Amino acid sequence: MKMHKETTGPIVNADRIQGRIDKLSTFTDPDKPWSRIAFGENHRKARAWLTEEMRSLGMAVEIDAGGNLIGRLPGVSGNLPPLASGSHSDTVPDGGRFDGAAGVIVALEAISTLRDAGQRLRHPFEVIDFLAEEPNKYELSCIGSRAMAGELTDAQLSHRAADGTTLAEGIALMGGDPHKLGAPIRMKGEIKAFLEMHIEQGRVLESAGDDVGVVTAIVGITRMVFEVTGRADHSGTTPMGTRKDAMVGASAMIVGFESRALGEETAMVATVGKLQVLPNASNVVPGQVRFTLEIRSSSAEQLQRFAVWAQWHAGSIASERGLDLVCKVVGKSEPIEMDPAVQVAICDAAASHKFKYRSMPSGAGHDAAHVALLAPSGMIFIPCLDGRSHCPEEFASTDQMARGAQTLLDAILILDSN
């Protein structure tokens, strides 16, 4: 990694970052790289390894009520609020080695580097592996960071996955304490600042040849579940005109979502990425279809308007076709701006190493969007190959991660000094 000559502070160890990424990547289904699904066995084993890494750095480790894995290091000045950094160790199915993982590893690297340099922070420091950032069997993302900010509702906690377990049980399985989740785990002002490094998951930085993105704001996300019920019938003997085909109804709904999103004046995205057909047999007219609709926008008003329209649109197709429809919003995160002072610290950190950086919004959701409700928060993006993410090909180089880690460490040092 090329470092600016005038740099005097401690320099991160690129090989150690890569080594830890490689190790974390081994906690995967060998035949389904790089899947580390939240609440699953690989996820739990990965967290056991992370716990050991934290302990070896002298951190006290705990799992909070929301199932977040936290390593804590005391600061040298008594009674200051902690600085915190981290991301998530779970992945989407067939996901990559960097989404989330890189953010946890570089937070560990910041501590490792300071330790090597014999340097201590004034503030206590926390490395956080947030529980279940990716949408999972409980149909909710960012479970740990929502819990931390007190956003989890009773309805979400009692939501039952297809395997019969509730989210509350899932959190307990991961070492959390769902009974304590009626209130925020951390109070506003309790954390001095939170920083999350993450791969960009898009092509902006790579196309511009930039090293670092300084996130200005994180997109809002609304996720809805639609259940379309028709009538299962024999595919050979039921004439076309007499069917109540839930799949054809769902398809019309989905095509409508796409055209509406394409026609919006302000860009937004709408995705149906998960769909279940029942009974899912080639010679049965589909009796029921359950699908998710995820919409993202930087405007809360646009999200709200689209969600209301989507419900109306699906309802009118259902009634034209004699289908029943149940539709509900299962998760919402509001668009949110990153803290200006934290953005400045990141810019100064990047500039001090002569890294090429730019300010940019995030179209992906992140734990930082929820922590921002509690604490001044900021995000550092690094480029990833071809902008690919949420796929096995996802890639960031050792150098790219090291520049992000160095920016993170220096931003922490800047925030620690004031």
Q: Is 294 an interacting residue with respect to Mn ion (CB under 5 A)?
A: no
Nearest approach in angstroms of CB 24 to ligand HGY is 17
111 or 128: CB nearest ligand HGY: 128
String marking each residue 342-381 x if it binds Mn ion according to CB under 5 A: ----------------------------------------
- Bridge partners of 333, per DSSP, are 221
365 or 404: CB nearest ligand HGY: 365
SS3 label, residue 375: coil
Candidates 361, 99, 102; CA nearest to 220 is 361
Note the maximum CA span of the chain.
79
157 or 218: CB nearest ligand HGY: 218
Nearest approach in angstroms of CB 141 to ligand HGY is 6
Residues near Mn ion (CB under 5 A), total: 2
Candidates 25, 95, 31; CA nearest to 390 is 95
DSSP character for 386? G
Nearest approach in angstroms of CB 410 to Mn ion is 22
* Residue 402 contacts residue 14 (beta carbons within 8 Å): yes
Nearest approach in angstroms of CB 218 to Mn ion is 11
Give all strands (DSSP E) within 264-412, no chain letters.
Answer: 269-271, 275-278, 284-285, 288-297, 324-333, 336-337, 357-362, 377-382
Residues in contact with ligand HGY by CB under 6 A are: 99, 133-134, 141, 364-365
113 or 136: CB nearest ligand HGY: 136
String marking each residue 100-129 x if it binds Mn ion according to CB under 5 A: x-----------------------------
Q: End-to-end CA distance of the chain, in Å?
A: 28
- Measure the CA–CA gap between 76 and 72, rounded to whole angstroms: 13
Candidates 339, 340, 348, 337; CA nearest to 413 is 348
Considering only 64, 90, 99, 394, the residue that binds Mn ion (CB under 5 A) is 99
Q: How many residues does the chain have?
A: 418
Nearest approach in angstroms of CB 135 to Mn ion is 9
Residue 333 interacts, among Mn ion, ligand HGY, none and using kind-specific CB cut-offs from 5 to 8 Å, with: none
Interface positions with Mn ion (CB under 5 A):
99-100
